Chains A and B, each alone.
Chain A
Amino acid sequence: AQSVAQPEDQVNVAEGNPLTVKCTYSVSGNPYLFWYVQYPNRGLQFLLKYITGDNLVKGSYGFEAEFNKSQTSFHLKKPSALVSDSALYFCAVRDGGSARQLTFGSGTQLTVLP
């Protein structure tokens, strides 16, 4: 069975500093990886995905993620954090099923301090 792990429940970073939210995965075949963001009292929003190709994936709101096959990681990054980036971030892996079900990590709360 596939799984994702987000080792940090909470990440704090100062505004303007770079941020990293960590994710590691375990799959039996090719990994299909995603990042979603959840703002308070809202549903999840898609940020970016890795299916194949370049290891550095660019997404919405200036976020990017680096796929590292040897370390089975897919860390989310942003060069300069904004206070408005404060939210709950989920890493996910796609199921091999035909309906494209997702398996989510436990989430990381990002707080950007002014």
Chain B
Amino acid sequence: NAGVTQTPKFRILKIGQSMTLQCAQDMNHNYMYWYRQDPGMGLKLIYYSVGAGITDKGEVPNGYNVSRSTTEDFPLRLELAAPSQTSVYFCASNRPGTSGIPTDTQYFGPGTRLTVL
């Protein structure tokens, strides 16, 4: 298994540009998450999904959109990039336990470092 993969690894955007950060997992995990990591601030949850077709906002969703058309993919869209979105973005996934409730171990991708100038 490749686990959780993210592309691109690095990207520089100009203010107002748009882009999509890709995330895919090959573990058949239902639950997927997008976090951003700012220096000294820990990770903040942007959006999450409990399965294909179902998404919900996390702590810091403004300026982002997500979709979940398949179990494997969970792309994050930035429509109008702003300097405040300069950050490292991590995608993570989680599998359901025997009772269908997700386990407590999230699997993280390697991250995408985004700079908005």
- Cβ of B50 under 8 Å from chain A: yes
- Cβ of B33 under 8 Å from chain A: yes
A41-82 contact mask (Cβ, 8 Å, vs B): 1 or 0: 111111001010000000000000000000000000000000
- Cβ of A8 under 8 Å from chain B: no
Of all chain A residues, which has the CB nearest B43? A104
Complex alpha-carbon distance, A42 and B58, angstroms? 23
Of all chain B residues, which has the CB nearest A43? B108
Q: How far is the CB of A79 from chain B (nearest CB, A)?
A: 24
Q: Are B104 and A94 in contact (CB under 8 A)?
A: yes
Q: Are A105 and B42 in contact (CB under 8 A)?
A: yes
The contact of B110 among A32, A42, A90, A104, by CB within 8 Å, is A42
Q: How far is the CB of B5 from chain A (nearest CB, A)?
A: 10
Of all chain A residues, which has the CB nearest B44? A104
The contact of A34 among B4, B40, B50, B104, by CB within 8 Å, is B104
Residues of B contacting A: mostly: strand
Q: Are B31 and A100 in contact (CB under 8 A)?
A: yes
Of all chain A residues, which has the CB nearest B4? A43
Q: Are B43 and A100 in contact (CB under 8 A)?
A: no
| Cβ contacts under 8 Å, A90 to chain B | 42-43
B11-25 contact mask (Cβ, 8 Å, vs A): 1 or 0: 000000000000000
Contact sample, A vs B, 23 pairs, CB 8 Å cutoff: A32-B104, A42-B111, A43-B4, A43-B90, A43-B92, A43-B108, A44-B92, A45-B108, A49-B104, A90-B43, A98-B101, A99-B33, A99-B48, A99-B102, A100-B31, A100-B106, A101-B33, A101-B48, A104-B35, A104-B42, A106-B40, A106-B42, A107-B40
